[in-house]
């Protein structure tokens, strides 16, 4: 298929010797460093910005004018003016869909970086998604359940693999279900948040440098708690979902991804980091444009449909965005956006806007990659960023921009 002409797979092990310590961050972060330019041209504080609807390119999107879809053009122009004044230096791209139509799509960054080199990417609009990839892995699992390839989320996870034995055996490993994996409550001894991701002693960094079969390495970990009793964010668990799908056949994980997700969504430009065993890294290795990433949010907005085709069941969508683990996090830099919990590889959250609570859910990844869905407003937002060094204001770079410009732009 033609999009494979744009695809270069690299293994984690290969990348370790080319600065991989940075790519291993699976949660959220940030850094400045890109030169901003709006509307595909040069950029700078003195240059104005005039809104134009995104072009129709035959990729499945209905393209609309922001004003006709209830979005203030003035607010969008003010947003881009602020970006050009370098008030939001980490922002690489912004895409917005309102009421089912693509109304805004701007690639802001003007140069590639070392993350693009990891997959041989030469396209400014194609961007590393990092842990936002996990939400796409969840969609694939939902499709596998819908098809009957996987019986249900209650299936014991070990039954999806065919390893003859496991290290650190504990009978509780038989109690780990797919539901526990999706909600990051496996009960295995794992902590990838206490040590910074750029530190060689980080659990993910050590794991990628010492394991060949990531799924086997995951299931060999010691048991720390009863499955379902403790939330522990686990990138390796997300990576293993692709192996679980492939083991059920008849398709490889790559063919399953293409057949049931990328092709129906008309996504032809994609790249990913591969595992040593040749699987796409769905824990943090996907590269997509903001315009294409937005499709996953719109699909969930429309109860699993894209252009009238049911891609994943509405039941799976509803189940995916339940806060199975209540987290009640408030990002310190964002007073109007709060994390409520974690679903099936989706962050469940809400905005507080003029005393109003707006429920939302999001895919998020290192560097402040953000796919945000706000159902009440029929609004989907995809923002790619480059906060790879951890700016203290990085979260507010993204959510501050949403709260300052995009939410007030909605009627």
pLDDT digits (tens, 9 = 90+) for 97-146: 999 999 999 999 999 999 999 999 999 999 999 999 999 999 999 999 99
User: Alpha-carbon distance 144 to 152, whole Å?
Assistant: 9
Please state, in angstroms and rounded to a whole number, the distance separating the CA atoms of residues 388 and 314. Answer: 35
Pull the structure tokens for residue 98.
């309102």
The total number of residues written for the chain in this structure: 411
Q: Determine the 3-state secondary structure of 204 from DSSP.
A: helix
Q: Which residues of the chain have pLDDT under 70?
A: 1-47, 197-198, 328-335
Closest of 243, 251, 177, 171 to residue 214, by C-alpha: 243
Pair 32, 387: CB distance under 8 Å: yes
Name the residue among 24, 26, 31, 25 with its Cα closest to residue 394: 31
The position carrying tokens 């990659």 is 369
For residue 322, which phi and psi values (nearest 5 degrees)?
Answer: -90, 140
**Contacts for 5 with CB less than 8 Å, ≥ 6 apart:** none
Q: Supply the mean pLDDT for the chain.
A: 88
User: Could you give phi then psi for residue 131, rounded to 5 degrees?
Assistant: -70, -10
pLDDT confidence of residue 124: 98
Distances in whole angstroms, Cα of residue 334 to Cα of each of 79, 273, 331: 18, 32, 5
Domains of the chain, earliest start first? 2-138+250-409 (3.40.710.10)
At residue 202, the pLDDT reads: 86
| Bridge partner list, 350 | 338, 359
Residues 6+ apart with CB under 8 A from 335: 352
Tell me, what DSSP letter sits at residue 28? -
Across 62-138, the runs of DSSP E, i.e. the strands, are: 91-98, 101-107, 126-128
Match 């007030």 to its residue by tokens.
408
In angstroms, rounded to a whole number, what is the distance separating the alpha carbons of residues 410 and 408? 5
51 burial (CB, 10 Å; 0-12 / 13-18 / 19+) is buried
Pairwise CA distance, residues 363 & 347, whole Å = 6
Angle at 123 between CA 234 and CA 30, to 5 degrees: 40
Bridge-partner residues for 326, per DSSP? 341
How high is the pLDDT of residue 198? Answer: 67
Tokens of 172: 């509780």
CB 231 within 8 A of CB 342: yes
Distance (Å, rounded) from C-alpha 304 to C-alpha 309?
8
Sign of the CA dihedral with 54 first, then 126, 32, and 35 last: negative
């Amino acid at each position: 298929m033609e999009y494979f002409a744009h695809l270069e797979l690299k293994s984690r092990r290969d990348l370790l010797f080319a600065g991989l310590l940075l790519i291993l961050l699976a949660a959220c972060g940030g850094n400045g460093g890109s030169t901003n330019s709006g509307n595909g041209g040069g950029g700078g504080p003195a240059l104005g910005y005039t809104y134009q609807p995104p072009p129709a390119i035959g990729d499945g999107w209905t393209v609309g004018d922001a004003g006709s879809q209830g979005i203030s053009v003035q607010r969008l122009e003010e947003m881009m003016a602020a970006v050009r004044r370098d008030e939001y230096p980490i922002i690489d791209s912004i895409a917005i869909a309102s009421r089912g139509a693509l109304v805004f799509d701007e690639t802001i960054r003007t140069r590639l970086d070392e993350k693009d080199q990891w997959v041989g990417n030469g396209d400014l609009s194609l961007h590393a998604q990092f842990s936002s990839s996990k939400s796409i892995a969840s969609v694939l699992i939902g499709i596998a359940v819908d098809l009957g390839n996987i019986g249900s989320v209650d299936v014991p996870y070990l039954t999806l693999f065919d390893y003859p034995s496991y290290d650190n055996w504990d009978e509780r490993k038989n109690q780990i279900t797919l539901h526990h994996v999706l909600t990051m409550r496996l009960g295995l001894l794992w902590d990838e948040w206490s040590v910074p991701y750029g530190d060689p002693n980080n659990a993910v960094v050590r794991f990628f440098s010492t394991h060949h079969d990531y799924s086997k390495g995951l299931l060999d970990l010691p048991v720390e708690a009863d499955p379902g009793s403790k939330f522990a964010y686990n990138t390796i668990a997300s990576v293993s979902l692709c192996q679980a799908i492939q083991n059920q056949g008849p398709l490889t994980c790559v063919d399953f991804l293409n057949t049931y997700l990328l092709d129906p969504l008309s996504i032809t430009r994609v790249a990913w980091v591969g595992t040593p065993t040749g699987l796409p890294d769905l824990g943090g290795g996907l590269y997509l444009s903001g315009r294409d990433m937005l499709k996953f949010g719109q699909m969930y907005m429309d109860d699993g449909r894209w252009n009238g085709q049911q891609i994943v069941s509405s039941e799976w969508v509803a189940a995916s965005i339940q806060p199975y683990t209540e987290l009640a996090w408030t990002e310190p830099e964002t007073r109007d956006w709060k994390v409520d919990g974690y679903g099936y590889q989706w962050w469940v959250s809400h905005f507080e806007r003029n005393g109003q609570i707006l429920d939302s859910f999001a895919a998020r990844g290192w560097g402040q990659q953000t796919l945000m869905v706000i159902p009440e407003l029929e609004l989907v937002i995809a923002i790619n960023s480059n906060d790879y060094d951890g700016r203290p204001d990085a979260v507010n770079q993204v959510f501050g921009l949403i709260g300052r410009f995009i939410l007030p732009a909605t009627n």
